[in-house]
Chain A
Amino acid sequence: MRQLHARAVGNRKFLNKKMGSGLLFLSVGVAALWIASDYPMGSAQNMDSGYFPRIVSVILIVLGCVDVILGLVFAGNGQTSPARTRWQAWVFILMALLSIGLLIESLGVVVATLTAVVIGSFASDGMTPKEVLLTALLIVLLVISIFIGGLGLPIPVWPEW
């Protein structure tokens, strides 16, 4: 039982911040090196498009490895795993942006804005439906007066059919 507990704690600490950033750098570096291997290398005197990217990728891989090693060595030694936070924040904010991107050209500013505000409102807690609706209407008014009225953007305001 105690062993099990220790392993659980160990696992949690294995995924500390150093390890996280190290793995991130490492994977981006490897991906970049892999993609860049298709680009012509050239010579030092006459660098082609693959020369500098390969150098930078290798540096990133090395630094990523250092972070991973530090993460392993210091696991459970002052290295904290990221604190728990509300997942709603990033999920709904990103979905709100996605909805604007998907809707703005086909359904216009008004629908896109309303949808984004409603989706985005789930990112914070404690907003009543009435509040959301009022905020959404206010933002739509502001958006239309600034972007369409003020700047004269060629964005469709309403759905076109």
Chain B
Amino acid sequence: MSDLWNNLAIGFAAAATLQNIGYAFIGCFAGTLIGVLPGVGAVAAVAILLPVTFYLEPLSGLIMLAGIFYGAQYGGSTAAILVNLPGDTSSVVSCIEGHKMALQGRAGAALATAGLGSFFAGCFSTCVIALFAPPLALLAQSFGGPEYFSLMVFGLTGAIVLSRGSVINALAMISLGLLLGFVGIDDTTGGARFTLGFTSLLDGISFVPMAIGLFGIAGIIDNLSRPAHDRSVITDKIETLWPTREDFKKAWAPVLRGTGLGSILGVLPGGGAALSSFASYVVEKKVTRDPSSFGHGAIQGLAGPESANNAGAQTSFIPMLTLGIPGNAMMAILIGALTIHGIQPGPQIMTETPTLFWGLIASMWIGNLMLIIINLPLIGVWVQLLKVPYRYLYLAILVFSALGVYSLNSNVFDVFLMMMFALLGYIFIRLECDFVPMVLAFVLGPLMETNLRKSLLISSGDPMIFLQRPISLGLLVCTLALLAVIIAPSLRAKREVVFDEA
């Protein structure tokens, strides 16, 4: 236990410098600014703002990213509550009750509940990470090739659970992601693969153009290709921000339950913000004494999911930081960011760069605090921003994304790469192929190949090695169980229902 406090002290000492708090502030502000834009989700916001953080030293860059991350997520909730337009799946649930509350003139209370619930969840899950990351990293240090390979298979299977559309499509998208991951020079043999003659592809497909193209630009194209929404922004009724005493009485239990649920679900592969908020909404609806109020602005249905999505978003850092395995799209983007800063996520990160690791954890808490400090008082600014028509905003995002991508390496090729991925992403959206599994597989592909090689080298080419090592066997059994659950008709129906609402 004293270790924990020591570690956190190291982290806070590193993160809580005036300069870093400044970056957290800028990050949080910029993140909310982009995240609040209708139709732009947290993942897209982080992807778009990613290039800016590369100009800072690693820890400051990460702290700013954490700020962007929380800001974008809260911005998404704000847009969901006030305009009924969720940026991405994790704020879909906030639309249901939050927007109803806003329609009843309680937008202020809804926004404050979301903010305070998220803050509580953030504080709690920061402790969860500090508590559970070290033992998990210790365990992971005993992992060899076979264990890692099986773990990645498990992780990718988890990604299928939460992907939209058919299981076949999800599997195919994973294969596609693996293929994209092969592009460039093969680390082990030194041979160039799938470069199609482009020298710029020798280092592999750069992650940032891919992420912005898919999550940012493709979404813009999709938005513009549909008939314009009728957006009614609720603007005139935010007078009192503070929830009433009765609100507090109703909300505290859902906040606790949501935090607990989110903390657990966030760690699972495929888990994170979206899964947690859906699960929490379902739970709250089940346990409430007054189910009829749900769908009509029940504060429980907002407080629970909002806490859960923050807790889940945060604990999904655990597998990412300790194992190097991204559980969701956001973590894939953060792995990309870490790699560009020269940090390879994995069990060694904690022992090799403890300041960075604990600094990042401390910065999560700082990011959360920043959220409360800047977002609630500034709510008027965000409301004004929501009134800016989309047709001005998308042009700004477009130009900023292109220049941001160009600025990474001063290479025009990256801009064209982003363009290709924007087109590809739009095609995928139209064909109902979720590209999140593809991105996860892209990040994991090279690691998977390396570990497959290692494993088969040890076993002289015998694939049975994956079944002979107990941890690896256990993970593969879990994978099979997960697959069985996905294919089981009952859950399939539920998945469809959930995504139909989304």
Contacts and interface: CB of A to CB of B under 8 A. Distances in A.
A85 B176 contact: no
Contacts of A146: 400
A72 interface: no
B496 to A, nearest CB: 12
Main secondary structure of the interface of A (DSSP, over half): helix
Contact of A94 (B223, B423, B463): B423
B399 A143 contact: yes
B457 A46 contact: yes
Contact of A47 (B398, B431, B456, B460): B456
Contacts of B194: 32, 35-36, 53
Given A44-B461, A49-B191, A139-B399, A151 B422 contact: no
B412 A63 contact: no
B407 A56 contact: no
A116 B461 contact: no
Contact of A120 (B189, B395, B412): B395
Interface in B237-265: none
Contacts of A43: 461
B21 interface: no
Nearest to B170: A63
B176 A39 contact: no
Contacts of A21: 169, 172, 431-433
Nearest to A126: B391
Interface stretch (B96-104, B178-186, B278-286, B474-482): B178-186
A82 B430 CA distance: 6
B427 A24 contact: yes
A45 B460 contact: yes
B403 A64 contact: no
Contacts of A82: 430-431
Q: Which size class do A's interface residues fall under?
A: 35 or more
A76 interface: no
Contacts of A59: 171, 175
With a 10 A CB-CB cut-off, give which of B172, B433, B456 has the most chain A CB atoms.
B172
B427 to A, nearest CB: 7
Contacts of A44: 456, 461-463
A18 B169 CA distance: 9
A75 interface: no
Given A97-B418, A104-B406, A90 B452 contact: no
A64 B221 CA distance: 26
A24 B211 CA distance: 20
Contact of B395 (A39, A52, A121): A121
Contact of B225 (A89, A97, A136, A147): A89
A50 B32 CA distance: 45
Interface in B213-253: 217, 220-226
Interface in B150-208: 166, 168-169, 171-172, 175-176, 178-179, 182, 186, 188-189, 191, 193-194
15 contacts: A45-B461, A52-B448, A57-B179, A59-B175, A86-B225, A89-B225, A104-B406, A105-B412, A109-B403, A117-B395, A124-B390, A126-B391, A147-B407, A155-B403, A155-B410
Kindly list the 6 A-B residue pairs having the minimum CB-CB distance in the complex, ordered from nearest: A44-B461, A45-B461, A89-B225, A101-B415, A89-B224, A85-B225
Interface of B: 52, 55, 166, 168-169, 171-172, 175-176, 178-179, 182, 186, 188-189, 191, 193-194, 217, 220-226, 390-392, 394-396, 398-400, 402-403, 406-407, 410, 412, 415-416, 418-419, 422-423, 426-427, 430-433, 448-449, 452-453, 456-457, 459-463
